[in-house]
Structure 1
Amino acid sequence: MEAAAGVSSLVLDEDEDLELFSKDTTLTDADSLSSTMVMSPSSMINQYKFEEEPDVKDLFITVDDPESHITAIETFITYRVATKTSRGEFDSSEYEVRRRYQDFIWLKSRLEEAHPTLIIPPLPEKFIMKGVIERFNDEFIETRRKALHTFLNRIADHPTLSFNEDFKIFLTAQAWELTSHKKQGPSLLSRMGQTVRAVASSVRGVKNRPEEFVAKNEYVETFSEKINALDKISRRIYKEEKDFLFKEYFEGMKEYGPIHTLWSASEEDLASSLKGIAGCIDKCCKAIEQLMAGLSENLLPVIHEYILYSEMLMSVLKRRDQIQADLDFKVEALSSKKTDKKPFQEEIGMLEDKVECANNALKSDWDRWKQNMQSDLKSAFTNMAEININYYEECLATWESLLSSQANNLHLEEDPEDKL
């Protein structure tokens, strides 16, 4: 019903709302960076010394209950965002709000503005084909829900991002309050001006990028290449296994099992064996379903998320380079200035502080991201191995159990003759 009703009205907002992980690499201009890089002593501690703090989770977020909304001009989905927390800065310990996808996009944008050299978790990317009804089917909606749940919980686990004021408002404000808060952000013309200045800054380039950031750029390029290749191969293997196991083997097994059950009704002496085979086939079919579900739910999403992370890392490194490019430009301007150098010197001092702050933020977050990445990928590969092992062990145990039962039955049938 939802899809049918929305065919002609899948427009505008939902084209911005729909995705499977956002690739916005817009740079923030230097002026806005100078204001956002100012932070309180407590946030500095959170940002640069978080590895020393105990790992105490005090913010729990759940994204669930997708709900469709059909209006005269658009069709969209909202999700319930339920929050439980023991943090003192929250007025209550529990909140429940509804958010649509564009609200998540707004949050990600605000986090990037406030923390330009922190690694913001990726969102589900834009759905490229517009007006496709399948984007409202249950599988798509569930895939998005899981991705949004992961997005918010990665922010909640971050020692700096989780204390962002916009994040708090996102979790607690009712829809009309959030709409009002959004209007307080920079205007469209202001954002366009920032983008133009950012592009001009990036064109100037960086002449003296520190070696450690040169190495980070090279690492991201290599990581992106490898993780994209891994994703491509994994999806091809999954598709080939799905095509074979489901379209050929699985469908054949589903027909094969019931035949043995039907046959057992007319073969009294073989009834036990035939029913046993039918049961084994049924269990193996269920094992196949678990195998494919495990791969699609445990491996592919993790690999794809880190493809999007590699894109985010490239954007973060560009924003860091932009800040340094501004400093390099001012230093060159100072060297050509013959009179009244004091204003330039003061501005250069501020830019040097900004570059140092940006570098420290990125280095701290880089280490944290890398640890999480290694842990997530190791866990995904381990899960993949366990899923495959469980599949083969379950099928093996099923058929071995049949052989054992048949051997016992044969032994019982032979015993009376042995006694004679």
Structure 2
Amino acid sequence: MEAKSELPSSSASPGCITPLDSALLSSLPMSPDTLRFDDDDDDEDDLEVFSKDTTLTDGNSFSPLVLTSPSSMTNQYKFEDETDVKDIFITVDEPESHITAIETFITYRIATKTTRSEFDSSEFEVRRRYQDFLWLKSRLEDAHPTLIIPPLPEKFIVKGMVERFNDEFIETRRKALHKFLNRIADHPTLTFNEDFKIFLTAQAWMLTSHKKQGPGLFSRMGQTIKAVASSVRGVKNRPEEFTDLVDYVDVFSQKLNVLDKVTQRIYKEEKDYCEELKEYGPIYTLWSASEEDLVDPMKGMAGSIDRCYRVTDTLSSKLSGDLIPIIHEYVLYSETLNGVLKRRDLIQAELDGKVEMLNKKVDRETLTEEIEKLEDKVECANNALKADWERWKQNMHCDLKLAFTDMADNRINHYEECLATWEAFLSSQTSDPQLDSKTDDQS
């Protein structure tokens, strides 16, 4: 296949994911027809329920920002830094509505192209629903508690509110899911996670079976109880650098939340302004029918207002499509960072508790061995978090700076186009003989 030759070759590095456990495959039935699975292990609140009248038949409703053909995904990265070799390419596209007796939900096509030797093929295509993404994120957090897992878009679901599941909402979610998977693929550690590989490659029935082998309800409850107990007890020996990180995240979260709210409000006001402009121009056209001497200037006003409406609408679309998503993503990242720091503190608190028990001279030999293991665990957690923090902060600076400069360019272009529109209107009106004579008199 030609596309394969365009991709850089790579070999699996030590410690990377291994092929799918053959024991798992051998334990599964040969055909999905012989299986009967419940939809998902998630609670009812996870169901994306909305009106069954929702249709996604308009192909123009979804205009992905990335190439949708798996064979063309290589071209997507031609202008990136070629020293950063990529060996996996992922696209999320083609939202599809599914209607069952109890719910209607959306699945997305996940197209993957890779040259990694641990994959059985170079191309994969599966369909996933939002709950599957939630499962993957949960598994990544379990496997890498002190790494910064990219956030998922919120569910935004209030049952019975059909308007939340329009084409715009689905397209916004598709873009966010695409970014989520590609951030994982670009991460030096997460990209080799076994559950990530299964998510990209396993057919739906096999993924459902694999999901049932994850941590049970009581295991997850136990982890939650330990985390709550740790937060109540507090961490006595947290290193100062992580206390600084906690303070930084608190300020970061406050500022981003305010920025997110204000930007959303500005967007709403601009949309309202666009609607006013849309109704404003035609009034001049209607009025011109009864004012013969003002036909040309009134039609000129109507045309100028219509052009300003169009460029303002474009500006508003860029605000909602470029700046708002990146700001809101980092609002969600602040929640992720808080979770990572709490999980690090949980490991630290466990070590502190063992040390306290050792000081009380209770079973010193066993405790000493446990403390040594926990000290190694804390050190690994600290090193992983510090390295991932620097990587995340660098990406955050680049993302926000690019979003800010793009918005500045968009604003400049908007004002230049509006200025040119009104200058053209003035120029057309100065051709009036009376206006020309007044200009000559003044000169």
TM range (shorter): 0.7 to 0.9
Q: How does 1:220-369 map to 2 (within 5 A)?
A: 220-243=249-272, 245-253=273-281, 255-256=282-283, 258-259=285-286, 263=289, 276-337=300-361, 340-369=363-392
Displacement of 1:386 in angstroms is 1.5
On the 8 A contact 1:68/1:76 being kept in 2, the answer is yes
On the 8 A contact 2:147/2:388 being kept in 1, the answer is yes
Displacement of 1:274 in angstroms is 5.9
Alignment match, 2:206? 177
On the 8 A contact 2:277/2:306 being kept in 1, the answer is no
Displacement of 1:18 in angstroms is 4.6
Q: 2:196 aligns with which of 163, 167, 174?
A: 167
Distance 1:220 1:18, change over 3 A: farther
Q: How does 1:192-231 map to 2 (within 5 A)?
A: 192-231=221-260
Distance 1:294 1:156, change over 3 A: same
Structure 1 position 15 matched with structure 2 position 45: yes
Question: Which amino acid in 2 is paired with 1:246?
Answer: C
Hey, which of these two has a bigger chunk of helix by percent? 1
Q: 1:129 aligns with which of 144, 158, 166?
A: 158
**What's the secondary structure of 1:147's corresponding residue?**
helix
Alignment match, 1:113? 142
On the 8 A contact 2:47/2:103 being kept in 1, the answer is no
- Between 298-307 and 85-94, the greater mean CA deviation after superposition: 85-94
On the 8 A contact 1:284/1:395 being kept in 2, the answer is yes
2: distance between equivalents of 1:185 and 1:294? 41
Displacement of 1:70 in angstroms is 1.0
On the 8 A contact 2:48/2:104 being kept in 1, the answer is no
Displacement of 1:280 in angstroms is 2.9
**What's the secondary structure of 2:150's corresponding residue?**
coil
Structure 1 position 55 matched with structure 2 position 79: no
Alignment match, 2:176? 147
Displacement of 1:135 in angstroms is 2.6
Question: Which amino acid in 2 is paired with 1:126?
Answer: K
**What's the secondary structure of 2:105's corresponding residue?**
strand
Question: Which amino acid in 2 is paired with 1:182?
Answer: K
On the 8 A contact 1:15/1:130 being kept in 2, the answer is no
Alignment match, 1:374? 397
- Between 229-238 and 100-109, the greater mean CA deviation after superposition: 229-238
2: distance between equivalents of 1:203 and 1:82? 44
Name the Cα RMSD after superposition.
2.7
2: distance between equivalents of 1:173 and 1:326? 37
On the 8 A contact 1:86/1:93 being kept in 2, the answer is yes
TM score, norm. by length of structure 1: 0.79
Distance 1:54 1:324, change over 3 A: farther
Distance 1:18 1:376, change over 3 A: farther
Alignment match, 2:407? 384
Q: 1:87 aligns with which of 100, 116, 119?
A: 116
Displacement of 1:119 in angstroms is 0.5
- Between 309-318 and 130-139, the greater mean CA deviation after superposition: 130-139
On the 8 A contact 2:227/2:346 being kept in 1, the answer is yes
1: distance between equivalents of 2:43 and 2:366? 46
Alignment match, 1:394? 417
Displacement of 1:401 in angstroms is 3.2
Displacement of 1:281 in angstroms is 3.0
1: distance between equivalents of 2:219 and 2:130? 24
2: distance between equivalents of 1:233 and 1:399? 30
Q: Identical aligned pairs, as a percentage?
A: 70
TM score, norm. by length of structure 2: 0.76
Structure 1 position 156 matched with structure 2 position 156: no
2: distance between equivalents of 1:72 and 1:203? 45
On the 8 A contact 1:14/1:76 being kept in 2, the answer is no
1: distance between equivalents of 2:395 and 2:284? 45
Displacement of 1:405 in angstroms is 5.3
Q: 1:102 aligns with which of 131, 155, 175?
A: 131
Higher relative contact order (CA 8 A, sep 6+): 1
On the 8 A contact 1:81/1:99 being kept in 2, the answer is yes
1: distance between equivalents of 2:240 and 2:157? 38
Distance 1:114 1:77, change over 3 A: same
2: distance between equivalents of 1:270 and 1:57? 63
**What's the secondary structure of 1:121's corresponding residue?**
coil
- Between 161-170 and 398-407, the greater mean CA deviation after superposition: 398-407
Displacement of 1:13 in angstroms is 6.4
Cα deviation digits, residues 244-285 of structure 1 (max 9, x gap): x134233212x246448x759x96x98776655544333222
